[in-house]
Amino acid sequence: MLKCRLNDEGSELYTNCVQLKIKLKKDGNLYKTDTLDTKRMLRIIESIPSTITEPFKIWLANLGNE
């Protein structure tokens, strides 16, 4: 819904958005789904201001060090 509203305003969520067809488990059909590359996904996760996300952020940082 947000993506549609931003498109109506002339804005884009992600300029180089890639859509992949992913099979839905319930009905087995393929649906186009917006995806992000690793760099952009990490930037979104890092921008979440919540203490709940801290363990996940630490895990990602340790994973990156490996």
**40 and 66 co-located in one domain:** yes
- What integer pLDDT is reported at residue 12 of this predicted model? 60
- What is the pLDDT averaged over residues 15-35? 81
**3 and 24 co-located in one domain:** yes
Q: Is the pLDDT score of 15 beyond 60?
A: no
Domain that holds residue 44: 36-66
What φ, ψ does residue 47 adopt, rounded to 5°? Answer: -85, -5
**23 and 44 co-located in one domain:** no
Q: Is the pLDDT score of 56 beyond 80?
A: yes
- For residue 58, give both structure tokens: 């630490």
**56 and 46 co-located in one domain:** yes
Q: What's this model's pTM, rounded to 2 decimal places?
A: 0.44
Tally of structural domains, the chain = 2
**Widest CA span of the chain, in angstroms?**
43
**16 and 28 co-located in one domain:** yes
